[in-house]
Amino acid sequence: METMVKNIAERKKLIIAILALSWPAIAEQALQTAVQYVGSAMVGQLGAQASAAVGLTITVNWLINSPAFAMGIGVLSCISYSIGAKKVDDAKAAAIQSIIITFVLGIILSIITLGVSPFLPKWLGAAPEIQKDASIYFAIICMPMIFRVSTIVFGAVLRSTGDMKTPMRVNLIMNITNIILNFVLIYGNQTLSIGGLNIPTYGAGLGVIGSAIATAISYCISGVLMFVAIYKNKLVSPKGEKIKLHPEIMKRCVNVGLPVTLERTITCLGQVVFSSLVTGLGTIAFAAHSIALTAEEAFYIPGYGMQSSTSTLVGNALGEKDEKKFHETSITIMGIAVVIMTITGGLLFLFPEFIMSIFINDAEVIKDGASVLRLVAVSEPLFGALIILEGIFNGIGDTKTPVFISILSMWGVRISSTYLCVSVFNFGLNAVWICMIADNVVRFALLLFRFINGSWKKKFQL
């Protein structure tokens, strides 16, 4: 009886620790999604063509961000392990490597994105009437690339130390800035109807270009603030340190981050191909598709919000060589994520038309988008477990197997089946989203098998 009471107390303490680490990350994800909601809703008032022009490059932006997110995972894994093992100097050295990574990645990605921006919409198969706006929008949001990378990588550094609140605050500032600038730059003097509300606007009337400028300025502000935050962080501050390459630490960060970079790059390329296939269904269907993708993001916020805390906590447990703590943390977080995303999935299933109407007034787009949102709502609990499993493997630095699984599933399941549905059998948008759901189901099953199998424990000395 005494042992049972002790176990319950320990589990309660663990849940409290998980929630304490997770809620700022969840709030941060919610803020980012709120801005995307507002931005998409505001652009949606300009019509289906404007929504399609902005939505066209969503998956390309995922591709662009993937190296930064991947190297952020590499740095996070290295720092959280070092802190768990009480190696503070290694943690600080890893944070300094993150500055070098940010600078190099920012320059490389800037050159690539600005170079391809004039040609990208045509490559993606966009209708001629949206190509110009899509090209300009993409170029503008990619100009401040070094600040964009800074936001992602330095945010990961802060989370690895257990500081989830500062990235949340920085994103709050960035998002408020973005919303204000959107109102000022997108519209002229007019009245908007968003979600049943009539909102008067007074601004520059720049349309899609105004939205891009607002996003670019917001990236600059958040990038600067993230750097200031790590400079003030006691555990990893570069203050008084030389910004120099530490080969051993950099190698550890790259060894974790490189496979994730490869995985995210190849899967995001798959997303780009996936989107280009959807453009073949027409502008209305593609607008419904891109808006539905944005709408769904709000409903998997809890999963991605908890993913960072998962990586930090399991990384600490690995550094401490505590297998029991690792196992209990992993299972508990996965359970919490599944329960919460069952609830959010239920809301998505019940109110898809209302959610779509927030973004656009076009009845046909709303109808198509609501149909696919109901389909994906059923898979939300499983998707929550998938997100946490990814966080577990990222936290311990076991990224090679998930890389293989993601590539296999994306290209072997999603892309191939979507090609058949769209190009061979001429099925509609619902079939495309069923292919997307099938991809997530396969990834979840394979990652869960890898986790339960436990053969990876020997390699990571757990």
* % of the chain with per-residue pLDDT over 70: 86
* % of the chain with per-residue pLDDT over 90: 23
pLDDT at 59: 67
Spatial separation of the C-alpha atoms in residues 212 and 288, rounded to whole Å: 21
* Averaged pLDDT for residues 347-366: 87
pLDDT at 289: 87
CA atoms within 13 A on the CB side of 175: 18
Instruction: List pLDDT tens digits, range 120-137.
Output: 888 877 777 778 888 888
Backbone angles phi, psi at 221, to 5 degrees: -65, -45
Q: In this model, does residue 206 exceed pLDDT 70? A: yes
pLDDT at 2: 55
pLDDT at 78: 85
- Average model confidence (pLDDT) across the chain: 82
pLDDT at 38: 65
Q: In this model, does residue 1 exceed pLDDT 70? A: no
Q: In this model, does residue 49 exceed pLDDT 60? A: yes
* Averaged pLDDT for residues 19-33: 70
Rg of the Cα atoms in the chain? 22
pLDDT at 254: 83
Helix axes 2-44, 283-297, angle to 10 degrees: 150
- Interacting residues of 317 by C-beta distance below 8 A, sequence separation 6+: 84, 323, 325, 326, 329
- pTM for the full model? 0.68
Higher pLDDT, 41 or 330: 330
* Averaged pLDDT for residues 391-401: 77
- Hunting for tokens 């750097």 — which residue is that? 227
Instruction: List pLDDT tens digits, range 92-122.
Output: 888 899 999 999 999 999 999 999 888 888 8
pLDDT at 197: 64
Higher pLDDT, 306 or 62: 306
Q: How confident is the model at residue 426 (pLDDT cuts 50, 70, 90)?
A: confident
SS (H, E, C) the chain: CHHHHHHHHHHHHHHHHHHHHHHHHHHHHHHHHHHHHHHHHHHHCCCHHHHHHHHCCHHHHHHHHHHHHHHHHHHHHHHHHHHHCCCHHHHHHHHHHHHHHHHHHHHHHHHHHHHHCCCHHHHCCCCHHHHHHHHHHHHHHHCCHHHHHHHHHHHHHHHHCCCCHHHHHHHHHHHHHHHHHHHHHHCCCEEEEECCEEEEECCCCCCHHHHHHHHHHHHHHHHHHHHHHHHHCCCCCCCCCCCCCCHHHHHHHHHHHHHHHHHHHHHHHHHHHHHHHHHCCCHHHHHHHHHHHHHHHHHHHHHHHHHHHHHHHHHHHHHHCCHHHHHHHHHHHHHHHHHHHHHHHHHHHHCHHHHHHCCCCCHHHHHHHHHHHHHHHCCHHHHHHHHHHHHHHHHHCCCHHHHHHHHHHHHHHHHHHHHHHHHHCCCCHHHHHHHHHHHHHHHHHHHHHHHHHCCHHHHCCC
Q: In this model, does residue 190 exceed pLDDT 70? A: no
User: What six digits make up the tokens of 123?
Assistant: 């490559």
- Hunting for tokens 């008067």 — which residue is that? 200
- Among 63-67, 191-195, 277-281, 350-354, which range has the highest average pLDDT? 350-354
- Among 73-87, 140-154, 240-254, which range has the highest average pLDDT? 140-154
Nearest to 428 by CA among 373, 371, 390, 357: 371
Instruction: List pLDDT tens digits, range 35-44.
Output: 666 666 666 6
- Residue-level length of the chain: 462
Instruction: List pLDDT tens digits, range 433-455.
Output: 999 999 999 999 999 998 888 77
Spatial separation of the C-alpha atoms in residues 350 and 327, rounded to whole Å: 35
Q: How confident is the model at residue 392 (pLDDT cuts 50, 70, 90)?
A: confident
Q: In this model, does residue 400 exceed pLDDT 60? A: yes
pLDDT at 60: 76
Q: Which amino acid would we find at residue 369?
A: G
Spatial separation of the C-alpha atoms in residues 400 and 379, rounded to whole Å: 25
Higher pLDDT, 405 or 196: 405
Q: End-to-end CA distance of the chain: give it in Å, rounded.
A: 29
Q: Over the range 20-50, which residues count as b (16 or more CB within 10 Å of their CB) and which as e?
A: ebbbbbbbbbbbbbbbbbbbbbbbbbbbbbb
Q: In this model, does residue 184 exceed pLDDT 80? A: yes
Q: How confident is the model at residue 397 (pLDDT cuts 50, 70, 90)?
A: confident
User: What six digits make up the tokens of 120?
Assistant: 């990208």
Q: Which amino acid would we find at residue 394?
A: N
pLDDT at 79: 87
pLDDT at 74: 83
Instruction: List pLDDT tens digits, range 239-288.
Output: 877 888 888 888 888 887 777 777 777 777 777 788 778 888 887 888 88
8 Å CB contact between 282 and 422: no
